[in-house]
Copies of this chain bind each other. A is one copy, B any other.
Amino acid sequence: MTKKHNIILQPSGRRGQADEGMSIRSAARELGVEIESICAENATCGKCMVLVEAGRFEKYNIESSRENLSPVGNEERAYLERRPKLLKDKGWEIGQVRLSCQAKICGDVLINVPEESRGNKQIVRKSARDRAIEVKPAIRKYLVTMSPPTLERPIADWERLAKGLETSMGLVRNGEENLPRWYDLQIDYQCMRTLSKTLRDAKWSVTVSVWNDKEIISVQPGYHEDSYGAAVDIGSTTVALYLCNLRTGEMLAAESEMNPQIVYGEDVMSRIQYAIDQPDGLEKLHKAIISTLNKLLKQAAKTAHIKMDEILEMVLVGNSTMHHVLLNLHPKDLGLAPFVPTIHKSVDIKARELGLHINASGNIHVLPTIASFVGADTSAVILAEEPHKQDENWLLIDVGTNAELVLGNRKRLVCTSTPTGPALEGAHVEYGMRAAPGAMERVHIDETTLEPKYKVIGVEGWNTDHAEFTGQVKGICGSAIIDSVAELFRAGIVDSRGKFKKDLDSKRVRQGESGWEYVIAWKEETSIGRDIPITQQDVRQIQLAKAALFTAARTLLKRMDLQSPDKIILAGGFGSYIDKEKAMLIGLIPDCELDNVYAVGNAAGDGARIALLNIEKRNEIDAVTRKVERFELPTDPEFQNQFMLATSFPHMSEPFEHIAHLIPNRKTDPLAKNFMK
């Protein structure tokens, strides 16, 4: 029997076992992770480069090391040695970076697949709303030309520049009030240090970058029109950085990396625990994220053909734990009752204080947090979607392993959060996987024959559209899991309590190894040679997740004295893929006009960009978040009760008008009394 080894693929989080001697690329494909290649695995195109992470990864219970792969062969070495600049730029070394078509597995490994090697990039759907960002950056540039000092007029360099700048600001921004007088202008200390030399080298004609109309943070010789900034969304799993031109608003580069903290804990609670348990835990977590941010900055600057010190500002968002760790604040009290962050308000610090390699005088702006589990990422979502400017009541839901919810209008906003577990993202579901080629993404079950049809990522149409279907199905991604559960319910295969009916006339409904299950794909349709079922356990996972989410939404609605929201905004990649009708059918989201349910993609990233490009938005979100009312679910007296009721499909005591026609047996099911009309 062939020996098996564990392989974990990041940033997708996909994990599984691979036969000894199998190449990383093949093993990854089996796990639904496509890695690029155009040289037929001949070690010549380099498209399939991956990184081996070394260390002990407690979460996966593996010890990964370079030695757990076959040694770097001659052809692979020859290829890598032809790319010294790439390796240097990325900070990779041979052995750490491998051609995944060549490296064979001979032990447990955790592999990081960099953005450029990923086969099928996720496509995030466009937002329902137009998001034209008004560009009003914190940094403005002015050309200042001075007469050189003379013995008769030996005024100091700074005052000479500030007086010239006062004139330039006035000329450029004719009519604007409240421009500072020259003697009220400030200059950042590090910028001051090189001022005299720069002015003389530049022959007294320089471009000055002014932050927030008050502080000079850069003085460049000659005329420069553009300045640059970076917006960053620090997710628990993935860190995404967008490099923008601050004058035009144009996005010049988008880079992402796995969050390196993942080796210290998969979710935020385990990272908080790590920081509590290890004396240098916070230090390690903090340094890891700073170093990844610097790597992303370097890559983005390279892509955009600019120098890193031309980047004059960064705006960062992330959940409260990511926020604290970024700022080197101990996250202990985020994880212990009564769950309190160190600070809500947005933070401005000099890049050099955090060791971020943009211009040393540049500003780092971190958006405000709202609560211990409603972080700066939610602030960014609010900024992007603007519920605080609506007359209607909007419900914003950002789903991940944790879900944050914000409800309200221009007068009042309430928020809460709830753990939902990883089931909604396709993890901890028996055949769950991330959205990738080979993943089922849509499922439909005929309510008469109980036969399914499905769509697979990378294959056109439904499986039943093909005369001979060879879909090579590998698993089920989040959207298809919700589809499946909704369809099992709609077709009457599971009841409103989520239990499989055992008396149905279908060979697909059967008792499997771990209990009752419904087979969606027979093994002939798969690439893994096994039937792919949805199990009772999978249905339970979804029930728990959706009950948590629904209870959170209901709690907020109750606080606002509402039965249902006017609009539901689903933020994050997850929301973009799910079928909103199915989501409503299982009671994942509250009842609402289906046309008023929107998926807006990475709204947190959008919000970070908005704050980067428009300084007024920073004050706006500070003021809004100051007024958001926070509710901790466990403090709600009805929470447990509500939660139990919410585990049923779609809900034990809620009338879901907009999907009522889809509810099976609604005349006979005693639990479906709400739908009996």
Contact = CB atoms under 8 A, between A and B. Distances in A.
Interface of A: 149-152, 154-159, 183, 187, 189, 192-193, 195-197, 200, 327-330, 332-333, 337-345, 347, 349, 353, 369, 371-372, 622, 626, 630, 632, 634-635
A2 to B, nearest CB: 52
A151 B635 contact: yes
Contacts of A345: 158-159, 183
Contact of A340 (B156, B187, B329, B635): B156
Contacts of A343: 156-159, 187, 192, 195
A154 B371 contact: yes
Nearest to A339: B154
Nearest to A185: B345
B196 A330 contact: yes
A345 B154 CA distance: 14
A621 to B, nearest CB: 13
Nearest to A153: B338
Nearest to A331: B196
B353 A156 contact: no
A38 B247 CA distance: 74
Nearest to A634: B151
The 4 A-B pairs of least Cβ separation, nearest first, read A158-B343, A156-B344, A156-B341, A151-B338
Given A159-B343, A330-B196, A330-B197, A353 B154 contact: no
A189 B347 contact: yes
30 contacts: A149-B338, A150-B338, A151-B339, A151-B634, A154-B338, A154-B340, A154-B632, A156-B341, A156-B343, A156-B369, A157-B340, A158-B343, A158-B344, A159-B343, A159-B344, A183-B622, A183-B626, A189-B353, A192-B327, A192-B329, A192-B342, A192-B343, A192-B347, A193-B328, A195-B342, A196-B330, A196-B333, A196-B340, A196-B342, A200-B333
A635 B328 CA distance: 55
A337 B195 CA distance: 18
Given A183-B622, A193-B327, A193-B328, 9 more contacts: A149-B340, A151-B337, A151-B634, A154-B372, A156-B344, A187-B343, A189-B353, A192-B343, A193-B329
A61 B290 CA distance: 51
B196 A329 contact: yes
Nearest to A150: B338
A151 B196 CA distance: 55
Of listed A151, A159, A333, A342, residue having the most chain B CB within 10 A: A342
A159 B342 CA distance: 9
Contacts of A329: 192-193, 196
Interface centre among A155, A156, A330 (most CB of B within 10 A): A156
Contacts of A341: 156-157
Contacts of A151: 337-339, 632, 634-635
Contacts of A333: 157, 196, 200
A152 B635 contact: yes
A236 to B, nearest CB: 20
Candidate in A195, A196, A333, A372 with the most chain B CB atoms within 10 angstroms: A196
A258 B625 CA distance: 55
Question: Quick one: which of A338, A339, A622 has the most chain B CB within 10 A?
Answer: A338
A636 B634 CA distance: 82
Contacts of A154: 338-340, 371-372, 630, 632
Contacts of A371: 154
Contacts of A152: 635
A330 B332 CA distance: 45
A212 to B, nearest CB: 14
Contacts of A632: 151, 154
